Amino acid sequence: MYNVLIVDDEDKILNGLAQLISWDDYGLEIIGAAHDGQEAWDILARSECNILITDIRMPRMDGIALLQRIAEASMGVRAIVISGYDDFAYVKKALLLGIENYLLKPINEDELSATLLTILDKLDHETKDRQIRQYGADILMDNIILVFDWDSDRNLRSDRGNEYY
């Protein structure tokens, strides 16, 4: 189960996104909704979040500033930007911050679903890669311990004059 945070200054959008798709069917849980970037940042500071869906233009802290903070903190959060503005300057800034997609309001359910499936595929691959690396590290550590134990045992025998090698 992956966690999602939705950020928009309009309650209508927050509620609409929460009901637009069946999040459980995707293995997703909405962990919160925020009305601006600062509120979202506060939630991110105390909760694990895998996917962020955020508006661009909001009071206090806009979506671009939020994405910059997330990038600076190396949080590994996948982001989808939603906006009522088809402004290339915003798109460019958001793309430079590594967003997954830039969706225009009103949100198209199929486009959101396709973006979420792409993100889920990436998250699953990252999780599998982490598990494989951890498994490899565990095997390496076990082998190092075995070699160390063998070498220590050999040195003990050597100290007693019983050399077996």
Over residues 68-87, the pLDDT tens digits come to 999 999 999 999 999 988 88
Task: Look up tokens 């309650």; give the residue.
Answer: 11
Asked whether 93 and 62 are in contact (CB, 8 A), the reply is no
Q: What pLDDT was estimated at residue 141?
A: 72
The verdict on whether omega for the bond into residue 106 sits within 30 degrees of 0, i.e. cis, is yes
Minimum mean pLDDT among 31-35, 146-150, 161-165: which range?
Answer: 161-165
Q: What pLDDT was estimated at residue 165?
A: 46
DSSP state, residue 97: T
Residue 164 has pLDDT above 80, yes or no: no
Angle, in degrees to the nearest 10, between helices 63-72 and 88-96: 10
CATH of 2-128, one of 3.40.50.2300, 3.30.530.20, 3.60.15.10, 1.10.10.10: 3.40.50.2300
pTM of the predicted structure, to 2 decimals: 0.81
Cβ atoms within 10 A of the Cβ of 81, count? Answer: 25
